[in-house]
Structure 1
Amino acid sequence: MGNAVVEAHREKSEVLITLWKREPIQGKIVKLDGQTQLIHIESGFETIKGKFIDILSIQSASQ
């Protein structure tokens, strides 16, 4: 799953990501912060932050 996250970030592709105890989020991964262990997902006009360990699934958001 880690490779899928890194690849989506590198290619700036739209993804559907599910984090622990949250609704699925559709957006683009704009930052992977290794120091704070947070993933930053831009969805619409907001940036959602979640812990790496809370990632349950990630898939391409085919439109």
Structure 2
Amino acid sequence: MGPKKRAPRVIEVEGKTSQDAIQAALTKLGVSRNMVNVKILAEGEQGLYGMSGMKLAKVRVSLKDI
């Protein structure tokens, strides 16, 4: 058998809101919120009248050293 593939320790994820992006990162990493550090790289912004030009939120989530 080959070496086991380890989950990344740091990931960057986008979502409609920063909370959506954080939740997506937690799901990908398979951990709870208290096990990670979160840095918000960009807040999500709605476009004109909530339609076009929407900008996604972006977060960097890293596992805490235990």
Same fold (TM over 0.5): no
Q: Which has the higher contact order (CA 8 A, sep 6+)?
A: 2
TM-score under structure 1 normalisation? 0.31
Structure showing the higher strand proportion among its residues: 1
TM-score under structure 2 normalisation? 0.30
Structure showing the higher helix proportion among its residues: 2
